[in-house]
Amino acid sequence: MDNGTASAGFPSSEVSDNLLVAISAFDEEPEQNLFKIGPFLNPKVISWQVDQGYEKTFVVEHGPYDKRKAVRLGVNLQSMRIIE
């Protein structure tokens, strides 16, 4: 989700983005949640993993092209957390 022109804080008018992560159980009336994380500059999800239980982890790479960083996040039906 784009945060608008110049939201990244650079003179080049780059934008920052928030990521929306939707998660749902499987049932007739499933529990569902939507989490919003960010802002990130040029985010790219580089991996997804299903851990033990119902938590999924994923890695988001972000930042300027010459200073990319990665953050690992965990998400389940009740919460999202930073792992690394």
- pLDDT score of 72: 94
Q: What does the pLDDT profile of the chain (84 residues) look like in tens digits?
A: 666 665 656 666 577 889 999 998 888 889 999 999 989 888 999 998 877 677 889 999 998 888 999 999 999 999 999 997
* Residue 52: partners with Cβ closer than 8 Å, 6 or more residues away: none
- pLDDT score of 49: 86
- pLDDT score of 53: 73
Per the CB < 8 A criterion, the answer to whether 43 and 18 are in contact is no
- pLDDT score of 5: 62
pTM for this model (two decimals): 0.78
Query: Residue 40, Cβ neighbours under 10 Å: how many?
Result: 19
Domain ranges of the chain: 16-82
Token pair of 5 as six digits: 């022109």
Per the CB < 8 A criterion, the answer to whether 3 and 20 are in contact is no
